[in-house]
Amino acid sequence: ELANGGHQDLPPLLSFKSYNPTATAMESWVGINPCSGSWIGVRCKKGRVIGVFLDNASLVGSVAPLLDLTHVSVLTIRRNSLSGRLPPLDNSTNPMLRHLLISHNKLSGDLSLSLPSLVTLRAEHNGFHGGLGAVSVPMARSFNVSRNMLGGEINGDLSRFPSSSFGGNVGLCGHPLPRCVRAYSALGDSSSISQSPTAAMDTSSVSSSNGGSLSKLVLTALMATGIGNAVLILISVAISVAMFVYVRRKLRSMKDASDSALTFHEEDKVDEKRQKNGGGGGLVVFEGGEDLRLESLLKASAEVLGKGVSGSTYKAVLEDGVVVAVKRLSALQFAGAAGKAFDRHMRLAGRLRHRHVASLRAYCNSSGERLLVYDFFPNGSLQSLLLRGLDWAARKAIVRGAAEGINYIHTFPARPALVHANVKPSNILLDDRGEACVSECGVMRYAANIQQHCVIPRHPPEMFPDRAASGGGGGGGGWHGYAAPELASGGGARATQESDVYSFGMVLLEVVNGGGKDGDGGGEEEEEAMGMVRIGMMCTAEAPEERPRMAQVLAMMAEFM
């Protein structure tokens, strides 16, 4: 493991770190053994680095050192500001590389990859130039080089990927993109290939300067064919999209109809009656919270558990000895949440009963005071647990439990369907059996200033701020790296089930990669870990529609756990 007084994988990692000496994401990279278990974002197997996970970490510099890690199988460094070239990769340099995720950086130069075993290549949103002639990835299942500056014809094997894998490269052409327009110069020694009518126009002007009126005519005809093709493609895309939307709506309405027997209006009436009868004394109470009274909550001795952007949470010991957790929503953030929609949501949330979902027992929304009463979880949250370190069995149980909880929320019969909107380690609590319970379903959707907590700023402060927060008590800061990229558009996009899946994927990757000892569970553990990493990467796909549903996540987990 240790050769020449140092770990073999240490030099590349340190050389990568040297570009970002103060980056919080690599603060834990100290000492001489990257496989000690304390290097966040580094995964090892049999004493060698097999994975590096540094998405969203505000990193600059070159990616090249990380590709000197000869045993690396997963490299994911999406959404940073890495620049320079990607070194040529082949079986002799990176025989183990299976997943290379370098999208949303500032990488440039040619793409030269000949990797027979590569399964994932995500290189979109960079500045890669040149053609795809030197890209050979026969086993790839996920491939995306869109939004670069690539050009030339898409070669045979790569044509099996959809056009979305190549879009946004003005110079690329050939299936699945429009046909290439081939313009031969009058001198006959060279030909240029272009896709778009504008590109074709450029070549026509070059040709006409060579004096060929015939070639001008041919080019005009070719241009027309190009435009015709583009129109045809546009029409077929429009028809496909319309059909997709129609079928989806139809399926949704069928599902809603079948669920209608379970909608919550009846329950609402019961709750309203309870409230009018003064059952909870200002509280709307749910199953298991019938004995709660607002006065006794206000008189209870309370201890602050932590403060987040949405408010503060207290441990409250009531007169009769019952212990509850009370979340007091921030008056500022929830100023606009007095409306019916918030009440409707809370009543629905009060009906969620599942072994992996924290039970809301009561809530109050009056005179600007919004209190949510949950069961108290003495074992705290996943956030604090990660700081203490966890064995593999516990990690597995937690991610599976959290996945089941989120799936229950997503499939709960409600219209519109429920969204959690704030999946992160501090909202995954541990019950007395050490099982995960997802808390605070949907509350964040009613916060006034969504920008403040859901948007990933251009320069996020750190990769896992919750982890880095001292003591694990307060989330603080307002930003968390678990939010999906589409919520960062600034257009006030609302959380969706797809964005929940993204956040879950980030949690999954953190749980799998953070703070554990290397190789303590042997080969089986490694296999499971790599399976989890694969699922985590699917969940954190850039495009929401590419992410699996939670039910699929559970099915995939069941395959190897």
Ligand X SMILES: Nc1ncnc2c1ncn2[C@@H]1O[C@H](COP(=O)(O)OP(=O)(O)OP(=O)(O)O)[C@@H](O)[C@H]1O
Residue with the two structure tokens 């070159």: 62
- Contact positions with ligand X (CB under 6 A) in 307-326: 307-313, 325
Does 327 appear as a known binding residue?
yes
Amino acid in position 442: G
Judged by CB under 6 A, does residue 427 bind ligand X? yes
Q: Which of 328, 464, 523, 475 is nearest to 53 (CA)?
A: 464
- Minimum distance, C-beta of residue 78 to ligand X, in the bound complex (Å): 23
Exposure string over 120-157, b if 16+ CB within 10 A, otherwise e = bbbbbbbebbbbbeebbbeebebbbbbbbebbbbbeee
Judged by CB under 6 A, does residue 422 bind ligand X? yes
Residue 367 CA to residue 186 CA, distance in Å, equals 82
> By CB under 6 A, which span of 30-38, 75-83, 300-308, 486-494 interacts with ligand X?
300-308
Judged by CB under 6 A, does residue 359 bind ligand X? no
Please write down the HEC assignment for all residues of 117-150: CCCEEECCCCEECCCCCCEECCCCCEEECCCCCC
Size of the site for ligand X (CB under 6 A): 26
Judged by CB under 6 A, does residue 305 bind ligand X? yes
Q: The tokens of 397 are what? A: 């149980």
Judged by CB under 6 A, does residue 151 bind ligand X? no
Judged by CB under 6 A, does residue 440 bind ligand X? yes
- Minimum distance, C-beta of residue 489 to ligand X, in the bound complex (Å): 20
Which of 39, 377, 408, 504 is in the footprint of ligand X by CB under 6 A? 377
- SS3 assignment, position 285: strand
End-to-end CA distance of the chain: 29
Judged by CB under 6 A, does residue 358 bind ligand X? yes
Q: Which is nearer to ligand X, 225 or 452 (CB)?
A: 452
Q: Which is nearer to ligand X, 146 or 310 (CB)?
A: 310
Judged by CB under 6 A, does residue 482 bind ligand X? no
Q: The tokens of 556 are what? A: 């995939």
Which of 165, 426, 497, 513 is in the footprint of ligand X by CB under 6 A? 426
Angle (CA) 145-149-153 rounded to 5° is 70
> By CB under 6 A, which span of 155-163, 365-373, 426-434, 532-540 interacts with ligand X?
426-434
- Minimum distance, C-beta of residue 405 to ligand X, in the bound complex (Å): 14
Judged by CB under 6 A, does residue 429 bind ligand X? yes
Residue 373 CA to residue 360 CA, distance in Å, equals 6
Which of 94, 275, 439, 497 is in the footprint of ligand X by CB under 6 A? 439
| Continuous segment of H or E residues that includes residue 193 | strand 191-194
Residue 3 CA to residue 217 CA, distance in Å, equals 69
Residue set of the binding site:
327
Sites of contact with ligand X (CB under 6 A): 305-313, 325, 327, 358, 374, 376-377, 380-381, 383, 422, 426-427, 429, 439-440, 473, 475
